[in-house]
Structure 1
Amino acid sequence: MQAYERKQLLERVEREGATVGAEIPDRIEIAGEEIDLQEFVFEIKRRETVPEGERERERVEHAKRNLRRERLRRVERIEEGDIDRAEGEELAGSIIGIDRALNALESLGPTDLEAESKAQEAADKKRWTSFLKKALGRDDGPSRRGR
């Protein structure tokens, strides 16, 4: 593979919207173990949150760590490996699929309702304080400094 082709593949996998329209791979091999990745992600996503129970949460976190490691390993193969264009394309596609799976797993909401409630309350207080400062003319934002 030529250097410019390698660069194009690396740019493709790092592109902001690369996962738009991408599919999560049905199966993927990570550390020598075949995983039904699509089935796992859809099972977790159906619950719309990280599953209850320490064991299930740890399973999801373990899967995310393994996916990140595998993604890095595949990117390094593109960067440094002696591969042809077809293998590079296959690796790039699988990296984007891994990113799609990671995005799905990362978007799961917290299960700690108390912590979520406190975070929501803190965000509400911050918005309210900001609103009051603006309403009372005490906003020290960049738009008022230049006056």
Structure 2
Amino acid sequence: MQEYQRKQLLERVNKESATIGADIPDRIEVQGEEIDLRTFVFEIKRRDTVPEGERERVEQAKRNLRRERLERLEEIEENRVDFETGEEIAASIIGIDRALEALNDLRPADLEGEARRQEAMDQKRWMNFLKQALGRDDGSAGKRGGY
């Protein structure tokens, strides 16, 4: 592969907007194991949050995908493939990036509960502030500044 072609592929892969409109691959070989990547991502993403029991599985998948991305990127960086193969590898890297984005957008289930608790506490503080500001913090509606 020519140097300008290699640089072109690397630029395409490293562009921030590379994953816009990109599809998650149906199947991909990651660390020597064939996986149904699209099915896995949609199965997890469908829940919107990662249940406690699935968290380690998702984290392991993300680590494996990052490792696979690096290995594929090195194939292009070190010019070990021809341009046609490099284009296929670049497309697969962008697919991996798309899958990683989807998995990184997930929230752990316990964080969702924590966010609700935080919101409830904020609302309670706000109501206490309003009661105090309106002079109704002592339980009597008619008194002003009743400390």
Give the distance between the partners of 1:64 and 1:28, measured in 2 at CA: 14
Pick from 106, 109, 114 the counterpart of residue 108 of structure 1.
106
Cα deviation for residue 44 of structure 1 reads 0.5
Instruction: Give yes or no for the alignment of 1:42 onto 2:42.
Output: yes
> Are residues 61 and 98 of structure 1, via their aligned partners in 2, closer, same or farther at CA, if it must alter by over 3 Å?
same
Provide the rounded CA distance (Å) in 2 between the counterparts of 1:96 and 1:9.
Answer: 11
Secondary structure (helix, strand or coil) at the match of 1:26 reads coil
Contact 2:55–2:108 at 8 Å: present in 1 too? no
Q: Distance in 2 between matches of 1:72 and 1:66?
A: 10
CA RMSD of aligned residues (A): 2.1
Indicate the residue corresponding to 1:98 in structure 2: 96
Residue 53 of structure 1, CA deviation: 2.9
Q: Counterparts of 2:88 and 2:34 in 1: how far apart (Å)?
A: 17
Aligned to 2:74: 76
Q: Could you tell me whether the CA contact under 8 Å between 1:110 and 1:116 is conserved in 2?
A: no
For 1:51-90, list aligned pairs within 5 A. Answer: 52-54=51-53, 56-90=54-88
Structure 1 unaligned residues grouped into runs of 5+:
129-147
Q: How many residues are treated as equivalent by the alignment?
A: 123
Q: CA deviation at 1:119?
A: 6.2
Cα distance in 1 for residues equivalent to 2:34 and 2:69? 15
Q: What TM-score do you get using the length of structure 2 for normalisation? A: 0.76
**TM-score after normalising by structure 1:** 0.76
| Residue matched to 2:7 | 7
Structure 2 segments unaligned to the other structure (5+ residues)? 127-147
Q: Summarize deviations over 1:33-81 as a string: whole Å, max 9, x none.
A: 100000000100111111x233x11000000000000001100110014
Instruction: Give 1:89's aligned amino acid.
Output: E
Identity %: 66
Amino acid at match of 1:48: D
